[in-house]
Structure 1
Amino acid sequence: MAYDEGLAHRLGESLGDLPDLTTKKMFGSLVFLWRGNLLVGALGSDLIARVGPEAQADALAAPGARVFDFTGRPMNGWVVVDGEAVAEDEALEDWIARCREFVEALPPK
């Protein structure tokens, strides 16, 4: 599955000022790593969001969010958000903020 270049561009624009930000193509997606830790990504037209285990239940209650089970095994602390749910910049920024809160507390890799 190819990633949505429009979503990837929007993510890059929003995250562009973060130091130590890199991108990587993985499994047909484009992910953004902050200090070596995966932060967010574009999987098809959907958003991969790393919110952390403690915030996963709240994240899953949000419109368009579902468990991230790309490999057939649900990943704890990760959700996928339907592209339509992040079509507006404000919604995308809210998801990015959730992810930054969790990843900022992780040690750099």
Structure 2
Amino acid sequence: MAYNEELSLRVNKRLIELNCSFIEKKMFGGNAFMINDKMCVGIMKAEVMLRVLDSEYEVLIESNHVHPMNFTGKTMKGFLLIEAEGLKKETDLNKWIDYGLEFSKFGIVKSKKKK
């Protein structure tokens, strides 16, 4: 299944409303939104993929309609997937986007060391 383009447009629209400078990039078989050179929000199938601050991860993972991102059999700490059921209202989607934007400002991306 391809990513939900309508959901991607909703995220795009919200970022424009907030006057965010972003780049859309195909990633993880979906569509990712890069802000400050960081993947913060994305769409995978019908779910929002979200990067959050480590300090908020444990609390947010307990929220309804949220589960850890498990890509290629490995849980990716700091990444959450928000199910479609938790994104029906614009206020709900906007709340999740705000967490991604917070990561774009304060989050640290740990890059792999070059050999």
Check whether the contact 1:53–1:78 (CA below 8 A) recurs between aligned residues. no
Distance 1:33 1:87, change over 3 A: same
| Aligned-pair CA distance for 1:59 | 1.0
- Map of 1:4 onto structure 2: 4
Consecutive unaligned residues in structure 1, runs of 5 or more = none
Using structure 1 for the length normalisation, give the TM-score.
0.91
Give the Cα–Cα distance (whole angstroms) in 2 for the partners of residues 52 and 69 of structure 1. Answer: 17
List per-residue Cα deviations over 1:1-46 (Å, max 9, x = no partner). Answer: 4110010000000012202x00001132000000210010010000
Q: Give the root-mean-square deviation of aligned CA atoms.
A: 1.5
- Map of 1:65 onto structure 2: 66
Q: Compare the two structures and name the one with the higher strand fraction.
A: 2
Secondary structure, in 3 states, of the residue corresponding to 1:2?
Answer: coil
Check whether the contact 1:51–1:99 (CA below 8 A) recurs between aligned residues. yes
Secondary structure, in 3 states, of the residue corresponding to 2:49?
Answer: strand
Give the Cα–Cα distance (whole angstroms) in 1 for the partners of residues 28 and 50 of structure 2. Answer: 15
Question: Structure 1 runs of 4+ off > 6 angstroms?
Answer: none
Secondary structure, in 3 states, of the residue corresponding to 2:64?
Answer: coil
| Aligned-pair CA distance for 1:107 | 6.7
Give the Cα–Cα distance (whole angstroms) in 2 for the partners of residues 58 and 11 of structure 1. Answer: 23
Identity of aligned residues (%): 26
* Greater gyration radius: 2
- Map of 1:18 onto structure 2: 20
Consecutive unaligned residues in structure 2, runs of 5 or more = 110-115
Using structure 2 for the length normalisation, give the TM-score.
0.86
